[in-house]
Amino acid sequence: MKPVRYTGIHHLALVTQDMDQTIRFWRDLLGLPLVVAMGRPGYRHYFFALSEHDTVAFFEWPQSAPVPEKDHGGPIKGPIAFDHVSFGVADRHALWHLKARLEAAGFWASEVIDHGFVLSLYAFDPNGIAIEFSYAVPEMDVRRAPRLMDPNPSVVTLEGPNPQPHVWPLPQPIPEEDRQVYPGEGEKLRNPESLWKTL
């Protein structure tokens, strides 16, 4: 079996109590086009295009509530599944542009922080979701030259940056006749009609 070739994060699924407020922030303030808007009474699932391959999606759950803001990367005790998400930007000047836009709209934005391999700006969306905007420093391409700087790495970490073979059982290929695709909520997207007029 050949290894899976990933193309990026197809979508990150987040939650909002108020889709209109979320659209105003992600589409109108951050500039991400709204590319899929589907739903039914009591349910909405909207996608914003981040790049050619990546989107950010939101479920609107009216009974949910924004999470309390917590410092990005600050440890907590108790159950947690997510700290923050970082979006790459193409040039360093975009960080100050985003900072100015966020602050003009009344949102908190950190100073730009130098992390060695990225420059980062931190903020929160209206749902309390911790977001980061990162500019990758060209001369520190950690994908091409990984770095181990932890003075106390585990044995597993010391195995190196690349996937280790034979750690997990080898899978048996699923026969072609068993590869079924079941209909989902987005089936209606194949309908050529859209409530938006052709742009």
Parallel, antiparallel or unpaired: strands 43-49 and 34-40: antiparallel
Q: How confident is the model at residue 1 (pLDDT cuts 50, 70, 90)?
A: low
110-141 pLDDT per residue, tens: 999 999 999 999 999 999 999 999 999 999 99
Show Cβ contacts of residue 36 under 8 Å, excluding neighbours closer than 6 positions: 45, 46, 47, 55, 57, 186, 189
Strand partners, 15: 59
CATH class (in words) of the domain with range 11-190: alpha beta
| Cα–Cα dist 30/33, whole Å | 9
C-beta atoms surrounding 55 within 10 Å: 20
Q: Is 49 helix (H, G, I), strand (E, B) or coil?
A: strand
Domain map (residue ranges) of the chain: 11-190
- The CA-atom distances, in angstroms, between 119 and each of 4, 39, 162 are 30, 37, 25
Residue 187: band (very low, low, confident or very high) from pLDDT cuts 50, 70, 90? confident
Percent of the chain, pLDDT > 70?
98
